A and B are shown apart, each in its own frame.
Chain A
Amino acid sequence: DAKTTQPTSMDCAEGRAANLPCNHSTISGNEYVYWYRQIHSQGPQYIIHGLKNNETNEMASLIITEDRKSSTLILPHATLRDTAVYYCIVRVTTGFQKLVFGTGTRLLVSP
């Protein structure tokens, strides 16, 4: 899997958009970008994934640059419950492949 680089921590005010960056400069053409988050003392939860087009679901939006070397996860209206560690992972999705987590970004949403 290609390596990813994320800031260690970020802060966001409640109600504002949280933009979490991820660098994956060595990503291959057949590798997808996945985002998971882990709320304290719980298992990680899948958020969203994409290949090269921007994606949106009920939880977040994923913006991938044209060269695919970086991406941004956007939580449009952060709430206190969005406080968590966010993991950016790149991986191929052809057959079995184990998912390797980095240390992620710790997002703190404050009132």
Chain B
Amino acid sequence: SQTIHQWPATLVQPVGSPLSLECTVEGTSNPNLYWYRQAAGRGLQLLFYSVGIGQISSEVPQNLSASRPQDRQFILSSKKLLLSDSGFYLCAWSAKQTATNEKLFFGSGTQLSVL
């Protein structure tokens, strides 16, 4: 069966420090990968998605970047964190298929607090 791992679960970082959040998927190959962010009390905002290694699409101009160095690895990064980067970050994957039952599977999330 497929599983998605996301870490760390919580992170407290000072303003101006770098960030690296990692997400890996097991049990599938060539998945679509996503990074979402949820600010406190808000809905989910799609940040990045990737359909293949090295292919990254950004949805919102911001202080963050994403990379996909391996098929089942998705990394969210920042060189210098801002206070506004605080939030709940979720990684997700979906299988590539043309059937009518494409679903997103989410990781357990990382609660990032920038102080």
Contacts and interface: CB of A to CB of B under 8 A. Distances in A.
A110 interface: no
A93 B97 CA distance: 9
A101 B43 contact: yes
Contacts of A87: 43-44
A102 B106 contact: no
B43 A43 contact: no
A94 B102 CA distance: 9
Interface residues of A, number: 24
Contacts of B100: 32, 51, 93
Interface stretch (B13-21, B70-78, B107-115): B107-115
Given A43-B90, A46-B103, A101-B44, A95 B98 contact: yes
Contacts of A100: 46
Interface residues of B, number: 28
Contacts of A43: 90, 92, 106-109
Contact of B102 (A42, A93, A101, A103): A93
Contacts of B46: 98-101
B53 interface: no
Interface of chain A, helix or strand or loop or mixed?
loop
Interface of B: 32, 34, 36, 42-44, 46, 49, 51, 59, 88, 90, 92, 94, 96, 98-109, 111
A96 B42 contact: no
Nearest to B105: A46
B71 to A, nearest CB: 16
A41 B46 CA distance: 17
A102 B43 contact: yes
Contacts of A44: 44, 90, 104, 106
B107 A103 contact: no
Contacts of B51: 96
Contacts of B36: 101
Contact of B111 (A32, A41, A93): A41
Contact of A98 (B49, B99, B111): B49
Contacts of B59: 98
User: What are the 3 closest A-B residue pairs judged by CB atoms, nearest first?
Assistant: A43-B106, A101-B44, A103-B43
